[in-house]
Structure 1
Amino acid sequence: MAWGLVVVSLWWTSTSGSSVHGGAAVLTSLGRVSGLLAAYLMLVELLLMARVPVLERAVGLDRLAAWHRGLGTNIVVLMVSHVLLIVWGYGLADHHQPVAELFTVITTYPEMWKATIGTLLFVAVAVASARRLRPRISYELWYLLHLTVYASVLLVYGHQTANGAEFVGHPVNRTLWQLMYVTVAACLVIWRLALPLGRVVRHGMRVERVVEETPGVVSVWIRGRHLDRLGVQPGQFLLWRFLAPGHWLTAHPYSLSARPRPDRLRITVKAAGDHSGAIARLRPGTFVAAEGPFGHFTADRATRGKALLIAGGSGIGPVRALAEDLAARGDDVIVVHRARDARELALWPELRRMAQERRLRVHGVVGSRRELGYDPLAADLVEASVPDVLARDVFICGPTGLTHGLVRSLRLLGLPDEQIHTEDFSLR
């Protein structure tokens, strides 16, 4: 907010009161302000997903991603407002029709053709991210579209300093503006490019083997050097990029499904799309790049000595890793795995073995609500199954519908929010 006021002050200090007189001048000034804010928020948009450790630790990648999604709509509104207001204001001043003025601006003003392409690219990304359209687009296509945002930011930059009244003849303002761009670019280069590449060299991670757990669910064992230095905890996730055909361009969030070892990590993935389905075909020896760790779905959040862990579908991966960690430190742990079919109870033999060896109880809740005739995770049934639920930390990992339904049930029982822990692995 404070930095946004600084950005608006660039317009304020470069605009005299006498120049804002008449309809054309007012429209042009509003267009200038909306353009400055749109450009500033574009940089904030990039910074939110630059993987800056201090931001991730303070807020969490899931919340940063949510802010990133919400901010996109505001940027598009400001960008469109900037174009319409500027063209309208210029048209009134020059006595031109808006369409004719738009053509004149694009074809005669410095750097404007680049800015036009950049704006159209950003609008296209926003449309692809719309709530109704997003589920219909594959993650891979969505990811590739989002890469064009970097090109958009570079394309629109030139017209700002070449035409903006805030920068032409104002070297201090221009330097401050350039510094903002350089700072964000440095964060992206360091944490999105340099450090991940450094980890590839330092840790030498490769696929060791791929194991089918249940139909459509596989575990990938990854071998490397000094993996304990990654600092990843059970329950956290990393962004994995497998250096194999079909996997190079996209990084996907998968959580650990076992406690990390100095030389091995394991993730468990359910086939839910093109990328996750292709994981089963990875070959041993494939190089692996990873960013992270991310998330707060860890034993550090459990403070009561008792925990209830509820997993739905592929959410059993982080739940299994977290259960092992909590049980190892002596906590009283109950694990509930919700599945539509008994064949979907992935990692079930491991959980049963852990229950025999440690202070751990496991329950499989199988069957759709239509088949059962009721919701087995309704508030009253949760309380009947776990009478001391109010004395436990509750960790939930699974599909959005299951998570939201369980949170409502737990709140109905009187469980305070500080005892309810969830994780959102979606970055779009």
Structure 2
Amino acid sequence: MSAVATPRHVGARPGGARAQRRHSRLVRIVLAAGLFGVLWMWWSSVPAGYAGTPANLATTLGELAGLLGAYLVCAQLLLIARVPWFERAVGLDRLVSWHRSLGATVVFLVLAHIAFMVLGGMILDRSLPWTEFVVILQDYPDMLTALIGTIVFLLVGLTSARLIRRALSYEVWYWIHVTAYVAIFLTFFHQLSGGVHFVSDPLNRVLWLLLYLGTAAAIVTWRFVLPTLDAWRFRMRVVAVVPETEDTTSVWFQGKNLEQLGVRAGNFLNFRFLSWGHLLTAHPYSVSWVPRDGHMRITVGGLGDHSRLLRQMRPGTLVFAEGPFGHFTADRVSRDRVLLVAGGAGIGPIRALAEELQARGFQPVVLYRAHSAAHLALFEELRAMPGVSVVPLVGRRAELGYDPLSAAALRSIIPDLQNWEVFICGPEGMAATVESSLRELKVPGRFVHREELSMS
């Protein structure tokens, strides 16, 4: 392997990464403020003598766990409601990660809520757990619907565990996850009708209603109403399906004023194709050709049933696209030297980024990892871009006898890599290897960018 020539000096755009970290902290502060608000609601209306007996203490802890769990459910929904301020501040991939992380906490709080409420009743009534559970179901209002909703919640949480999630197709996981909306509806009413912090406190009741109504309004507005209006406005449809390699397919779209979508190189959208086998789920795909002259393109690897079926998509199919999303854009560049690392379907956004960067005056280097030359989708397009250097890294590790993405291999290509900015897009294993190699080469983490396209 030979070293790549150092690109000429280009003025960078500083502050992008710093601004995102600042906005990310602000979102965390907003969520934490809401959490403290819930604690204040609990404390301001907690009954006198709440810890006077073991039964009262257990019941009070159960009520607190229920309040916190309900708030975090709303926070989870807001994180993935496509609220523009949240998405611009953090990026949808990180919001999905936060949503996923909060899931385990919500499940724990729901179980704690049930356990402490039953425990408090057991101590007070001197009864057995299952007897007290039945008593609670019979004596408290709206408890049967709450029980059904809780079971659904636990099912959603269980199927989101990594081990089980891997065994499910995206479509099955998606529709199980959608039932969470039903669970929220079923569990909401017992909070107002049976919760001591709402029955005796009208202000808390109003604030709780506003929390749920605001969350619902955000979901309806940004997940349904505005995307539907955009679908009508742009009238996007498939115009061509192009097999790039045996497992990679490009889909071309045409629409009215697609440039007004605001799609940037590196962005992705959630696409729902109005055809059999695609209608019921939407999938995130990155753009490999940003809107130009009314056309746009995605390049997709055949990783699942949905993506493999794209090759059979008929021209003329209507498309419902939600977005754009993501911070994997050229605005994050703050150094003069830029390395783009692609593998598999990750070549789509990398190809678009390379084009934008060279248009800005950069001379990016693209490392393209593939098992064989036959898997180098869009390779000729990249090679034809002036100012873009493309280094194909072809071959399986077992055949090559080394890892072409190891620290030593990367150093042999770019000796001063610690002074470069790096964008990575490709399979999870490949991306993890590159990140590990970059750490070994002392590339600061703030100059390494990677975005995960996963809604689960």
* TM-score normalised over the length of structure 1: 0.97
Q: CA deviation at 1:139?
A: 0.5
Map of 1:91 onto structure 2: 122
Query: In 1, distance between residues paired with 2:277 and 2:148?
Result: 28
Aligned to 1:105: 136
The structure, 1 or 2, with the larger RCO (C-alpha pairs under 8 Å, 6+ apart) is 2
Task: Specify the code of the residue in structure 2 equivalent to 1:145.
Answer: I
Which amino acid letter does the alignment assign opposite residue 218 of structure 1?
T
User: Do structure 1's residue 393 and structure 2's residue 424 form an aligned pair?
Assistant: no
1:378 to 396, 406, 410: 406
Matching residue of 1:275: 306
Matches of 2:95 and 2:50 in 1, distance apart?
40
Aligned equivalent of 1:408:
436
| Whole-Å separation in 1 of the counterparts to 2:279 and 2:408 | 47
Q: CA deviation at 1:327?
A: 1.2
Aligned-pair CA distance for 1:51 = 0.5
Matched with 2:397 is: 369
Number of the residue aligned with 1:201: 232
- 1:1-400 maps to which residues of 2 (within 5 A)? 1-354=32-385, 358-400=386-428
AA aligned to 2:273 is: F
Moved more, 345-354 or 203-212: 345-354
TM superposition shift of 1:373: 1.3
Paired residue type of 2:102: L
Residues 228-251 of structure 1 show CA distances to partners (whole Å, capped at 9, x for unaligned) of 111110111111111111212211
Matched residues in 2 for 1:135 and 1:277: separation?
Answer: 18
Equivalent residue, structure 1, for 2:6: none
Residues 263 and 290, structure 2, Cα contact 8 Å, conserved in 1: no
AA partner of residue 234 (structure 2): H
Letter in 1 for 2:410: V
CA contact (8 A) 2:49 2:56 kept: no
% identity of equivalent residues: 48
Check whether the contact 2:333–2:421 (CA below 8 A) recurs between aligned residues.
yes
Closer/same/farther in 2, CA of residues 359 and 215 from structure 1, 3 Å limit: same
The alignment partner of 2:391 has SS state of strand
Q: 1:424 Cα deviation (Å)?
A: 0.9
Q: Spell out, residue by residue over 1:372-426, the C-alpha distance to the aligned partner (whole angstroms, 9 max, x if none).
A: 1111111121111123423322111011111121112112212112221111111
Letter in 2 for 1:342: A
SS at structure 2 position matched to 1:260: strand
RMSD (CA atoms): 1.2
Whole-angstrom CA distance in 2 between matches of 1:283 and 1:184: 38
Shift in CA distance, 304/20, structure 1 to aligned 2, threshold 3 Å: closer
User: Structure 1: how far apart are the matches of 2:266 and 2:202?
Assistant: 50
1:61 touches 1:294 (CA, 8 Å); kept in 2?
Answer: yes
Unaligned 5+ segments in structure 2 are 1-31
- 2:263 counterpart SS class: coil
C-alpha offsets along residues 252-282 of structure 1, whole Å, 9 cap, x if unaligned?
1100012321411100011111111111111
Q: CA deviation at 1:314?
A: 0.9
Task: Give CA deviations for 1:284-341 in whole Å, capped at 9, x if unaligned.
Answer: 1111111111111111122333211110111111001111111122211111110112
CA contact (8 A) 2:65 2:109 kept: yes
How far does the alpha carbon of each residue in 1:155-178 deviate from its partner, in whole angstroms, 9 at most, with x for none?
Answer: 100000010000112111100100
The CA distance in 2 between the partners of 1:360 and 1:84, in whole Å, is: 61
Counterpart residue number, 2:10: none
Q: Is the 8 A contact 1:38 1:78 kept in 2?
A: yes
Q: Secondary structure at the match of 1:132?
A: helix
One-letter amino acid matched to 1:298 = T
Cα distance between partner residues in 2 of 1:419 and 1:26: 50
Residues 225 and 262 in structure 1, CA contact (< 8 A), matched pair in contact too: no
3-state SS, counterpart of residue 290 of structure 2: coil
CA distance in 1 between counterparts of 2:152 and 2:306 reads 25
Contact 2:238 2:318 in 1 (8 A): yes
TM-score (norm 2): 0.91
Indicate conservation of the 8 Å contact 1:333/1:360, yes or no: yes
More moved, 108-117 vs 135-144: 108-117
Secondary structure of the 1:332 match is coil
Long gaps (5+) in structure 1: none
Q: Which moved more, 1:6-15 or 1:157-166?
A: 6-15
1:426 aligns with: 454
